[in-house]
Amino acid sequence: MISKKMQEAINAQINAEMWSAYLYLSMSMDAADKGLAGSAHWFAKQFSEEQEHAEKLAKYLQSQNAKVVLAPIAAVKTQWGSLKEMFADTLEHERKVTAMIHDLCKLAQDENDFATANMLQWFVNEQVDEEATAYGILEALKMIEGEKVGLYLLDQKLGAR
């Protein structure tokens, strides 16, 4: 059984994952409004992925006979000036999530909670991928900045996700 402190920290992470989902849904809607169907699709996939992360954490809590406590989700930004701005925000956000996951790992380590530490390794690896992907797309957007054909082609690639 996990500690009350760990239970509260994981519940906070569940809320953060749901906020992330909401953020990516908002980005998907804004990309669609801008005519970027491929990017809208990419962000919609992120939306679903973040919900899966929250569910994975919730199921873990339940497997430990701990209560899942869902909290209200704070408002998110709804408009961005460009796709590049969206991906800059994505990278910044993923870096914050990585820090939150690392804080959970530290807590698990401090509490000698080996089961939770083991479960969290999946999230550590996931965050490496999330940051690398966001960084790569942002770098591609910087390279094609101002080139409509480049933006079109990148949007098509993002839609293939």
Render pLDDT for 93-124 as a digit per residue (tens, 0 to 9): 999 999 999 999 999 999 999 999 999 999 99
State how far the Cα of 26 lies from the Cα of 9, in Å rounded to an integer: 26
Q: Contact, 105 vs 117, CB < 8 A?
A: yes
Asked if the model's pLDDT at residue 1 lies above 90, the reply is no
Range of the domain at 25: 4-159
Looking at residue 89, its amino acid is: D
Render pLDDT for 116-154 as a digit per residue (tens, 0 to 9): 999 999 999 999 999 999 999 999 999 999 899 999 999
- Mean pLDDT over each residue of the chain, to the nearest integer: 97
Report the CATH number that the domain containing residue 139 is assigned in CATH: 1.20.1260.10
Render pLDDT for 74-92 as a digit per residue (tens, 0 to 9): 999 999 999 999 999 999 9
In the predicted model, what is the mean pLDDT of residues 6-13? 98
What is the pLDDT at residue 119? Answer: 98
Render pLDDT for 28-75 as a digit per residue (tens, 0 to 9): 999 999 999 999 999 999 999 999 999 999 999 999 999 999 999 999
Indicate the number of domains in the chain: 1
State how far the Cα of 76 lies from the Cα of 148, in Å rounded to an integer: 28
Local structure of residue 112 (DSSP, 8 states): T
Local structure of residue 81 (DSSP, 8 states): S
